[in-house]
């Protein structure tokens, strides 16, 4: 069997010099296929590693029609590339060369029979992954930085990851600014009407729970990397990511792990179900968290998805290995409190991290239960395909470790035409029989409370600062944001 790369090795770099993830990555952010898997400096147990990737040796791009059997092809990629034999001090690194990228929600159409009703109007493909043999892994817990790279490189890792002499272009130098207000693809009335339709399906016995989402969009000018930096600071989400892939750029501020596997075959998924908004008042904030953990409705909703994911994991895990060590734990993020559970298992012989992804994709926490029927109903009720939303971003290392997120709190930027650019963002929630339509609609707004306003104000704030500077120098006023 052919091997697609020479032997990989690892080189330690000085943490004090190489720990600033965004400063290192910024010069490469607009390079095709540059990816940042970003723990975002969050004070969260899962916020330890940042993984910087560029210049893949091979790429795979596809949509529903052209993807074929993507998981089988990617399995071949991994089989053709033996795991690196690294020095002992580096063998615990989570990524040691391998596959990374986007698995969009609509990739699920290659796995299940879903009708084609919702409009597909986003140019980003359903799958966009690369085989990366150059990576910079920043371990913020142990304060170390390691470059993964092929042996015999012409460039030392310090040179490979150093900023090029010229990185400024008109696009990268332009301030990000929305040029239109955010608009949803459903009015509040239309959203609540669809919740009523969901209730009809629930009463008819089609499902126990259905996830319903709305999509927000706006036009913008300037550099999306600036938007990512502002959102990263505001959200500090442990599964953040920046992907510069064909068709556009993906900005993810996800708090949710989908699937993690270790090289010994152990598996973990941590679905989120249950949400309350944060409060600046500490007593009110604690009361909201207490109310969430005690909510019979939210606990029931969470348990439905736990059961679904137990079933998904059992398809590829050893008999008797699937367990639920933690139910209904409160995790607090900058905008909301979430209710999180943990399911674990161990892969059965003959199964891999990729076959686990195929068995569980898309994640049950963002579809509903039963999954296939919920996806069919979502296709009927949501006006547009979900694209990057509710898919997964992550990596599959050559040594058997993998980690993926659920792409909630995720945006994408695309070109509307030669001069206009669009940015999209989604928010949704699980609807059960006793869901209140108004409360569910408000929950979608709570989930993007640290996203939409941040970007609305980003350009406006920068223009105001510039305008005041111009006033002091006698320059004409450049105007304010038009949103």
- 302 class by beta-carbon count within 10 Å (0-12 exposed, 13-18 middle, 19+ buried): buried
User: How far, rounded to the nearest angstrom, does the alpha carbon of residue 174 sit from its chain's CA centroid?
Assistant: 25
Largest Cα separation within the chain, whole Å, is: 75
C-alpha span between 405 and 363 (Å, rounded): 9
CB contact burial 59-75 (16+ within 10 A = b; e otherwise): ebbbbbeebeebbeebb
pLDDT at residue number 289: 95
Hey, what domains does the chain have and what are their CATH numbers? 8-161+176-473 (3.60.120.10)
Q: How many residues does the chain have?
A: 483
Q: Does residue 413 contact residue 133 with C-beta atoms inside 8 Å?
A: no
Q: Which residues of the chain have pLDDT under 50?
A: 1-5, 464-483
- Going by C-alpha positions, the residue among 443, 423, 78, 48 that lies closest to residue 278 is 443
Q: What is the pTM of this model?
A: 0.91
pLDDT at residue number 464: 45
pLDDT at residue number 424: 99
The secondary element (H helix, E strand) that includes residue 190 is helix 188-204
pLDDT at residue number 87: 87
pLDDT at residue number 166: 63
pLDDT at residue number 475: 37
- Going by C-alpha positions, the residue among 395, 397, 402, 396 that lies closest to residue 86 is 397
pLDDT at residue number 419: 75
Residues annotated as catalytic (active site), given as ranges: 256, 273
């Amino acid at each position: 069997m052919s091997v697609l790369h020479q032997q990989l090795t690892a080189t330690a770099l000085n943490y004090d010099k190489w720990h600033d993830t965004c400063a290192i990555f910024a010069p490469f952010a607009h390079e095709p296929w540059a990816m940042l898997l970003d723990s975002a400096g969050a004070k969260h147990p899962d916020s330890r590693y940042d993984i910087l990737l560029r210049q893949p040796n091979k790429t795979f791009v596809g949509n529903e029609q052209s993807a074929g059997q993507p998981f089988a092809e990617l399995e071949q990629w991994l089989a053709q590339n033996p795991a690196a034999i690294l020095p002992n001090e580096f063998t615990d690194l989570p990524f040691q060369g391998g596959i990374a990228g986007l698995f969009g929600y609509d990739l699920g159409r290659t796995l299940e029979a879903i009708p084609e009703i919702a409009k597909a109007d986003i140019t980003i493909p359903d799958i966009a992954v690369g085989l990366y043999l150059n990576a910079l892994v920043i371990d913020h817990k142990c304060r170390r930085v390691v470059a993964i790279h092929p042996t015999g490189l012409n460039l030392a890792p310090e040179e490979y990851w150093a900023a090029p002499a010229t990185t400024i272009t008109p696009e990268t130098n332009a301030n990000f600014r929305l040029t239109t207000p955010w608009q949803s693809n459903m009015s509040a009335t239309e959203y609540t009407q669809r919740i009523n339709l969901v209730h009809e399906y629930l009463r008819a016995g089609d499902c126990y729970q259905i996830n319903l989402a709305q999509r927000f969009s706006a036009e913008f000018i300037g550099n999306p990397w600036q938007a990512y930096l502002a959102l990263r600071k505001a959200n500090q989400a442990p599964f953040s990511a920046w992907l510069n892939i064909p068709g556009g750029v993906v900005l993810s501020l996800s708090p949710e792990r989908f699937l993690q596997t270790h090289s010994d075959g152990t598996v973990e998924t941590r679905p989120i179900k249950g949400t309350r908004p944060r409060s600046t008042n500490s007593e009110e904030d604690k009361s909201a968290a207490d109310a969430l953990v005690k909510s019979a409705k939210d606990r029931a909703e969470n348990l439905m998805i736990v059961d679904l994911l137990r079933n998904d994991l059992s398809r590829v895990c050893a008999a008797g290995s699937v367990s639920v060590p933690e139910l209904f734990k409160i995790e607090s993020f900058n905008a909301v409190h979430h209710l999180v559970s943990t399911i674990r298992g161990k892969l059965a012989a003959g199964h891999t991290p990729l076959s686990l992804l195929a068995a569980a994709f898309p994640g049950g926490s963002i579809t509903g239960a039963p999954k296939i029927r919920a996806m069919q109903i979502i296709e009927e009720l949501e006006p547009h395909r979900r694209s990057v939303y509710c898919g997964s971003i992550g990596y599959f290392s050559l040594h058997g470790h993998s980690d993926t997120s659920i792409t909630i709190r995720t945006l994408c930027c695309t070109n509307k035409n030669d001069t206009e650019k669009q940015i999209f963002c989604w928010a949704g929630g699980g609807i059960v029989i006793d869901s209140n339509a108004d409360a569910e609609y408000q929950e979608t707004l709570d989930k993007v409370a640290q996203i939409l306003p941040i970007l609305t104000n980003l350009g406006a704030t920068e223009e105001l600062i510039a305008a005041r500077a111009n006033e002091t120098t006698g320059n004409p006023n450049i105007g304010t944001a038009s949103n």
